Structure 1
């Protein structure tokens, strides 16, 4: 067993915090600038859809890169590219090409950042002991959520006090800090045999976005895809729910977002305290699917602000708890040399489900109330949860064997 070095663990958490702050700041600033430039929410939808499509097409290839090369070097290269994207975005907007620059920036950033996230998650087994994976992953998510809240506050202040092109200096500074800390990061190398198996030319199954996760992880991938889609629905429809059905101000939308964030932090802390209870992850995943489904169905039954706060808290709790459980299950199910590809394949399934949800929302438009969409998807989650109870358990297998075809 590897004993994690305190300095290495602290550097890792610092990289998580700096990267998360930069990511959230970039998303907030880019979305607001796009909305201000076009005066329509459709521009934000275009950005989200373009980024999701780019992720869907390239995430498997990024995962293969993570498994083939030193992950610290991959993270450093991703930070350098993110710095270049932030600088180019600010300059392009200053020259007056706001929307074309934002679309190109969002697409490029989505690909680079997804590779970075996959690489950072794949580094965890080289930092934490196997019996502490859940606690370490939970702590990383808590650090991420705290950095997101900080970035949201600072980005909001910048958007109200500085020119839009200068706002991108905030994520640029965060990614610069991440780069500096990653250059100091040292981690245990994975097994040579695992690295040698991944050398050579890329195989088709490693590049195409249609690759399926390992059989043992497909149940987890199904749950993760539904939880991921639930998070996208909440992001897209929460503001419309407040405006159209609660008839509330923007402040109520802020409270709902705060309730989600609070649930997220509590979910991470809950699993951090249960880090040694590793025998019920499959049952816990189904439980979180049920909790999310019930909370979504509640929007269809009650259109009340206080009840909505409770529902958003539950959704945030289950969203992050399920993500942590899937991450830990993946880290324990496959060798370290295959984590990048496996994690990317699971994310491909999630993005595909999210794109389908975006398409449904775009097709329905404003003809269907948000509570109906929430409730319908919640009922679907409950049906799937019932079906997963009969999903047979599978033994571990090699991703190399799976991808030979």
Structure 2
């Protein structure tokens, strides 16, 4: 008799395939984390619209809007020097909760102060402190995701989080515009403060897996705590020694310089050049959030199919073209669709970038690498925001938008000359020097 139809006996020398990680929705901790952060982002969308409108109504100046954006960006950059070591040294859940409690208190100061009299000066310290707390929270958040899901689920988790965040942001800007028109921008900021408080309560019920033991340092012992500056340099050194992360950091520094102030320019263009209402501004930004939803849903399968390089370079090139389109369009519907295309592109590039860092970086170093990455690539952003909005005041929004869009397209395409173009940079073996940087 032949062996047709008879199953081959198992090979005792071959280990069984690893079990497939459970679906994300089966994790209670990830589900709670997902829910409360979605609520918080929905509240953030109120301040995202309300603070620029509050400044524009009070000063009538796009340059003041840019300076406020630059202040928040500069606060984030400075905080990045110590945020990573803070995240890697203390309880990450406690840090997340503390940041949310502090932001709830800080943002609540604006509506409370406005009950008595407008205090425009207060907006500036609130934005600066919010930038500090926001940077610490973001670094903590990035390091929390790998402690909530299996490594194979990281890109999927980031995409799912981004999708629901953006979905929450679809109605948020629209409602923020309505609330600002009916009750004033300060009421919308008060709603944001309340969602920070709700997020803090929810995070108290989230459990993170214990951090795995750190790898031995290059010198043969375990790493010892150093100064914030030395720890920041440890993260920066890891970025520099990894070819793909090095190129990504450099190109994103140039991109952030061009795009950090674009939201202010979009709002000013709609209000000043096209003469639209606060409600229309909120509606356009709500439509733009749909782009992030679509990106978050597509990014994981797109990266699996097309690879990292095609996704990152293609998305940022598309974003540059969309900004050019906004600059030459006077139709509000077209502007909304083009801004949505821009947010789609930014989201695809951002999720791919964050997932790549999480996949490559050892857990014990992830806070410092994330902090160094955001600090370095955001360093030029505040200057760019100030210069971009100052240029709008001198030569007008359309010209600035076209120049910014062409610049973004050029920066994205230059990625073809770097290791970013690789399909799977996370699978490229590290050199001995790179491995030593990860261990130290």
Aligned length: 402
Match of 1:106 among 127, 133, 143: 127
SS in 2 for 1:175: helix
**Structure 2 CA distance for partners of 1:391 and 1:253, relative to 1, 3 Å:** same
For 1:31, the equivalent position in structure 2 comes to 52
Name the counterpart of 1:364.
391
Residue 18 and residue 304 in structure 1: after superposition, are their counterparts in 2 closer, same or farther (change >3 A)?
closer
Q: For structure 2, list consecutive stretches of 5 or more residues without a partner in the other structure.
A: 1-17, 421-427
Q: Which residue of 2 aligns with 1:220?
A: 248
Provide closer, same or farther for how the CA distance between residues 8 and 204 of structure 1 changes in structure 2, counting only shifts above 3 A.
same
- CA distance in 1 between counterparts of 2:328 and 2:51 reads 35
The answer to whether the 8 Å contact 2:62/2:390 transfers is no
Q: What residue number does 1:200 align with?
A: 225
Alpha-carbon offset, residue 255 of structure 1: 5.4
Distance between the aligned counterparts of 1:173 and 1:381, measured in 2? 36
TM-score (norm 1): 0.85
Q: TM-score, normalised by structure 2?
A: 0.79
Q: State the alpha-carbon separation in 1 of the partners of residues 235 and 370 from structure 2.
A: 14
The C-alpha deviation readout for 1:149-181, integer Å capped at 9, x for no partner, is 343344344434447666544223211211111
Shift of 1:188: 0.8
Aligned position for 1:329: 356
Q: Distance in 1 between matches of 2:73 and 2:183?
A: 29
Give yes or no for contact 1:220–1:285 (8 Å, CA) kept in 2: no
From 395, 400, 406, give the equivalent of 1:379.
Answer: 406
1:179 to 195, 200, 219: 200
Q: State the shift of 1:112 in Å.
A: 0.5
Residue in structure 1 matching 2:153, options 118, 132, 137: 132
Alpha-carbon distance between aligned partners in 2 of 1:373 and 1:100, rounded to the nearest angstrom: 28
Partner Cα distance (2:289, 2:375) in 1: 25
Q: Give 1 or 2 for the bigger CA radius of gyration.
A: 2
Alpha-carbon distance, 1:140 to partner? 0.4
- Greater CA drift, 254-263 or 332-341: 254-263
Paired with 1:21 and 1:267, the residues of 2 have a C-alpha distance of: 18
TM alignment of 1:137-176, pairs within 5 A: 137-162=158-183, 167-176=188-197
1:77-96 matches, within 5 Å, as 77-96=98-117
Structure 1 residue runs without a partner (length 5+): none
Distance in 1 of aligned mates of 2:193 and 2:302: 36
Residues 208/39 of structure 1: CA separation in 2 closer, same or farther (3 Å cut) = farther
Deviations 1:294-351 (A, max 9, x none): 3334456665555544432321211111111001101111012222222222222332
Instruction: Supply the distance in 1 between the matched residues of 2:172 and 2:409 (Cα, whole angstroms).
Output: 35
Alignment check: 8 A CA contact 1:78 1:113 kept: yes
Structure 2 CA distance, aligned partners of 1:167 and 1:283? Answer: 39
**1:239 is matched with which residue?**
267
Check 1:363–1:42 CA distance in 2 against 1; reply closer, same or farther (3 A cut).
Answer: closer
Using the TM superposition, give the Cα deviation of residue 95 of structure 1 relative to its aligned residue in structure 2, in angstroms: 4.7
> 3-state DSSP class of the match of 2:214?
helix
Contact 1:127 1:187 in 2 (8 A): yes
Q: Contact between 1:133 and 1:275, CA under 8 Å: does it hold in 2?
A: no
SS at match of 2:394: coil
Aligned equivalents of 1:199, 1:74: Cα separation in 2: 21
The range that moved more, 74-83 or 291-300, is 291-300
- Identify which of 233, 257, 261 aligns with 2:289: 261
Give the whole-Å Cα distance in 1 for the aligned partners of 2:233 and 2:113: 32
For residues 291 and 117 of structure 1, the distance between their equivalents in structure 2, rounded to whole angstroms, comes to 26
Report if the CA contact (8 A) 1:138-1:268 is conserved: yes
The alignment's C-alpha RMSD in Å is 3.4
1:293 and 1:209 map into 2 onto residues whose CA distance is 33
Match of 2:276 among 221, 225, 249: 249
Once residues 145 and 39 of structure 2 are traced to their aligned partners in structure 1, the CA distance between those partners, rounded to angstroms, is 17
The structure 1 residue matched to 2:323, chosen from 296, 306, 314, is 296
Counterpart residue number, 1:47: 68
